């Protein structure tokens, strides 16, 4: 199956999912498969509407972060929180500021939003 792609500033991006209905301070998981490579990640939409994408891997142990399939955030929606040991991360940078991996970062992906669809950078795969 062919994956939808876009080119932005000379770089290739792969379609990862719809985000037209992703509210601010909400999260959504995605999975992109290209050839033998599979990338599991999630989107978060910040309070100002900006969209961010991170790999679903906690810098503490590499475990998936989410509580339930699309739930990666604290109950307030203000921070990303790992479901295993509770580390907390800033939405806009992925920096851990509380918990066992304090000072480390989630692996950010470049993301492009076009007409309600989100595409992640090919270099992430």
* Residues that bind ligand FES in the complex, under the rule CB under 6 A: 58, 60-61, 63, 82, 84-85, 87, 99-101
Q: Report the nearest approach of ligand FES to the CB of residue 83 (Å).
A: 8
Give the residue with the Cβ less far from ligand FES, 22 or 101.
Answer: 101
Show the 3-state SS of the chain.
CCCCEEEECCEEEEEEEECCCCCCCEEEEEEEEECCEEEEEEEEECCCCCEEEEECCCCCCCCCCCCECCECECCCCCEEECCCCCCEEECCCCEEEECCCCCCECCEECEEEECCEEEEEHHHC
Give the residue with the Cβ less far from ligand FES, 82 or 112.
Answer: 82
Give the residue with the Cβ less far from ligand FES, 17 or 59.
Answer: 59
Q: Report the nearest approach of ligand FES to the CB of residue 79 (Å).
A: 13
């Amino acid at each position: 199956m062919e994956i939808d792609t876009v080119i932005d500033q000379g770089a290739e991006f792969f379609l990862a999912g719809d985000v037209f209905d992703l509210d601010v301070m909400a999260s959504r998981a995605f999975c992109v498969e290209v050839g033998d490579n599979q990338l599991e990640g999630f989107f978060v939409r910040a309070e100002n509407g900006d969209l961010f994408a991170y790999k679903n891997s906690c810098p503490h142990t590499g475990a998936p972060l989410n509580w339930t399939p699309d739930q990666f955030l604290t109950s307030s929606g203000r921070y990303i929180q790992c479901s295993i040991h509770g580390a907390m991360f800033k939405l806009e940078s992925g920096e851990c500021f509380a918990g066992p991996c304090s000072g480390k970062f989630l692996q950010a992906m470049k993301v492009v939003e076009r007409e309600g669809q989100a595409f992640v950078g090919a270099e992430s795969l």
